[in-house]
Structure 1
Amino acid sequence: MAEPRHRGGAAALDLVTEAVEAVRGRRLRSALTLLGVAFGILALVATVGLTGSAAAQVSARFDALKATRISVEGFSGAAGAPIDTATGLRGPVIGPDALERARRLNGVVAAGTVALAGDPLPRAGRPGDRVPSAAVETQVMAADPDALRALRIRPVSGRLYDPVHQDLRHRVLLLGDVAARNLGLNPADHSIADGRTVIHLAGRPYLLLGIVTTADFDSQAQLSAIVPEWVARDPTSKISFQEPKVVVQTRPGAARQVGTEAKVALDPAQPDQLVAQVPPDPERLRAGVETDTRTLFLVMAAVSLLISAIGIGNTTLVAVLERRHEIGLRRAIGASRRSILVQFLLESGVLGLLGGVAGTIGGLDLTIAISLARGWTAAISPWLLVVGPLLGLTVGLVAGVYPAAKAARMEPVAALAT
């Protein structure tokens, strides 16, 4: 016959009270077990909170660096183009009309031609350098003024060349900041690009107009000496250039459409002979990065919770073994197996719940602290406030099933005899 005190609401309240007292009675062991749950919930809450807070930042970074530049290749005839007797230059492989059609496409910000020097790379140096090794092999990029804009090239010191330098065939030059350091120049020294510094490139003098850099990670501009496009068509430049290509800077989201239309605009007769290098879709890349990052940390949180569950189960099992006499005595005076089972489930559930509450608070604090330190706006889902403690309670209850069942199966005589 069951004890009257274990009936109805009063009985349930008594069981909860006894579970809390049992946890309080073993404070050190309970605290250590609770910490295990707390760390697991903390990792889970912090992961969800930080990935949510970082999502906007990741989106902003991807939008800022969103793939907005394409290149069109496949033009031929650079070496075999006829030389204009009036100018002494080879005819352009990509005509100005074709470039103008490309610039008029919807979504195009800038478009221009670029040609890189082939092997062997020319040597660049300053006239005052008396040591032969001071002249170093340097990549050379021939680009028209619109290509500078398409490549997002900006001056660190000095200035960029303009259409006048291109049209009047001035021998001017820009140096990428890395290339400038290779030549012993300090990009931050504004007195260098004062219009009086001369750089010898493949034995020909060029006036240094500026030292430049770019935000494009895949651009070679920072490593290059950049000259006007006409130099690539000058047979006397002593520099062998590769086949030119067209670089196009587009507005965000227009790269794929422009990549298709640019081929027709540049070569209406044979667009299929051209190849448009269109960057991958940044939306998919961003989603993949966010998903992979979140999955990694959630797996780590799940492992931590599993270890916590094992700890709770172990703690509860030890408590069952230590309290055999208590269990036997309660069974002898009429306590049912069910009440014993509920008693120990409540004890493990209380540990899990307290650990869930502590972990949720710690995870929220950690999310806010890291967000503030990084200058982010903390984005915390309200459901985390409920899910964290409930998950801790669930872990505690699941972990306590075996020890509670073992306690409930104990026979009074056997428990009192040991």
Structure 2
Amino acid sequence: MTAPTIRRHGRTAPTDKLALSASRLTAGDVLRVGAVGLRTRPLRAALSALGIAIGVAAMLCVVGISASGRADLQRTLDALGTNLLTVEAGKRPDGKPGRLPDQAVAMIKRVGPVLNAASLSRLPEDVHVYRNDHIPAERTNGVIVYATDLDLPTTTGATIAHGAWLNPAIAAYPGVVLGAATAQRLGITTAGPGVLIQIANERFTVIGILRPVPLVPELDSAALIGTHAANDHLAVDAAPSIIFLRAADDQVTAVRDVLAATTNPAAPYEIAVSRPSDALAAKLATERALNGLLLGLGAVALLVGGVGVANTMVISVLERRAEIGLRRALGATRGQIRLQFLTESLLLSMLGGITGAALGASVTTAYALIQHWPPVTPAWAVAAGIASTITVGMIAGLYPAIRAARMSPTEALGSV
């Protein structure tokens, strides 16, 4: 009796000699087979994933810490306001320093959108501050003495850490308010009766200590006295050297444009107008350049991790030739072998990526809390970090996967 036949590829062949068709792997099968190498060599897999994790964590830390810093700056500016402007005397045409008119503050206050204004008058450079009269004359601590208007805190946003601010009664007497850095340099932690410092040849009572002033950092290293005290006790004519003013939020640019001509109508070109919040924004822009460098270092670390994954996968192919040969002999196709090793590489990279994302977010949060910043880890950065690890894993596993798929069953089993 003739065996049943079937036409295949243009030829007739007995059905009992037909090769069995290759079975298809489900997604679950692919994951289980791809995870075999990770389970059997956990230490090697962990070390390879660590390289990926370090790269992702480095990039997330850079982005997260930068975002946290920007959030803190924005919070600071929201609290202090961005409507503070400063007016200073610039250079005259002959190169000599200019001078603000004595009526400059009064003229600025006449501008409609100006909410308030206050001046500082820098005293001559030979007026120094000492803890007491036993300190050597050359140890000035870099403290600058200013005569100030009484509404300076309202204008600049300065606040008192200890003691009190100058008032009309005290401003005519030898009382002084110290900036935060000045108090630290002089070793003064409290203010009040009995706390004295030496200014020139006069003893002044420390009545207050300021907190740091972010928008006006020159106040941190200043000693502030009243205008009448400067005239009566130090014999100094206190002319304004810098003026601070607050303008209506929606009129800051308009006020800025007219300040020079308002302050000194005869020579507006001698007046310099600035906005302190712009300096903070410029500082942040400078930090972004450094952040770009750090991101580059993180990318290099991620690349090194990818090379580690590729090396691990190549060695895995060489060590598992018997497994590859056996699977090929049992009917696994080249595509299934290729998919197995590519899946293993992707799983290894994703393990490193997820670990790195968690590590980077944790470090960012810890650093931000130490700096008293709002912790921010952008979701796009986490997604980009994990996506980059998938890309690295795919590239790193491509060559080993192709190499494993090209290995014939006889070659793989014969090398055992």
Assess same fold via TM > 0.5.
yes
Instruction: State the SS of the aligned residue for 1:306.
Output: helix
Q: In structure 2, give the amino acid aligned to 1:35.
A: L
In structure 1, list runs of 5 or more residues that go unmatched.
Answer: 77-91
Instruction: State the SS of the aligned residue for 1:192.
Output: coil
Q: Which of 123, 126, 134 is 1:120 aligned to?
A: 126
Indicate how the Cα distance of structure 1 residues 41 and 95 shifts in structure 2: closer, same or farther if over 3 A, else same. closer
Structure 1 residues 344-379: Cα deviation after superposition (integer angstroms, max 9, x where no partner): 212212222333344444445555566666666555
Aligned residues of 1:6 and 1:14 also touching (Cα < 8 A): no
Shift, 1:102, TM fit: 0.5
Q: Which residue does the alignment assign to 1:143?
A: 148
Q: Which of 16, 27, 32 is 2:42 aligned to?
A: 27
CA distance in 2, matches of 1:37, 1:223: 50
Q: Which residue does the alignment assign to 1:250?
A: 246
Instruction: State the SS of the aligned residue for 2:88.
Output: strand
Instruction: Please give the root-mean-square deviation of Cα atoms over the aligned residues, in Å.
Output: 4.5
Indicate how the Cα distance of structure 1 residues 280 and 326 shifts in structure 2: closer, same or farther if over 3 A, else same. same
Shift, 1:228, TM fit: 1.0
Instruction: State the SS of the aligned residue for 1:281.
Output: helix
Aligned residues of 2:60 and 2:377 also touching (Cα < 8 A): no
Q: Which residue does the alignment assign to 2:117?
A: 111
CA distance in 2, matches of 1:113, 1:7: 86
Shift, 1:70, TM fit: 0.5
Indicate how the Cα distance of structure 1 residues 134 and 157 shifts in structure 2: closer, same or farther if over 3 A, else same. farther
Structure 1 residues 127-170: Cα deviation after superposition (integer angstroms, max 9, x where no partner): xx6x69589867442334345654556664354142x778xxx4
Instruction: State the SS of the aligned residue for 1:70.
Output: strand
Q: Percent identity?
A: 26
CA distance in 1, matches of 2:35, 2:220: 69
CA distance in 2, matches of 1:369, 1:147: 37
Structure 1 residues 317-363: Cα deviation after superposition (integer angstroms, max 9, x where no partner): 11111122333454456654333322221221222233334444444
Structure 1 residues 154-191: Cα deviation after superposition (integer angstroms, max 9, x where no partner): 664354142x778xxx4544253566788x78451422
Aligned residues of 1:150 and 1:249 also touching (Cα < 8 A): yes
Aligned residues of 1:263 and 1:276 also touching (Cα < 8 A): yes
Determine whether 1:259 maps to 2:239: no
Instruction: State the SS of the aligned residue for 1:299.
Output: helix
Aligned residues of 1:187 and 1:211 also touching (Cα < 8 A): no
Q: In structure 2, give the amino acid aligned to 1:121.
A: V
Q: Which residue does the alignment assign to 1:82?
A: none
Shift, 1:403, TM fit: 1.4
Instruction: Within 5 Å, give how 1:16-415 maps onto structure 2.
Output: 16-45=31-60, 47-49=62-64, 51-64=66-79, 68-73=84-89, 94-96=101-103, 98-121=104-127, 139-146=144-151, 150=155, 156-157=162-163, 159-162=165-168, 170=172, 172-176=174-178, 186=188, 188-192=190-194, 208=205, 210-213=207-210, 215-216=212-213, 218-219=217-218, 222-224=221-223, 226-228=225-227, 231=230, 239=236, 244-251=240-247, 256-279=253-276, 281=278, 284-285=281-282, 288=285, 291-292=288-289, 294-331=291-328, 335-364=332-361, 379=376, 389-415=386-412
CA distance in 1, matches of 2:198, 2:56: 65
Moved more, 248-257 or 320-329: 248-257
In structure 2, list runs of 5 or more residues that go unmatched.
Answer: 1-16, 93-98
Instruction: State the SS of the aligned residue for 2:190.
Output: coil
Aligned residues of 2:191 and 2:209 also touching (Cα < 8 A): no
Number of residue pairs aligned between Structure 1 and Structure 2: 385
Indicate how the Cα distance of structure 1 residues 5 and 32 shifts in structure 2: closer, same or farther if over 3 A, else same. farther
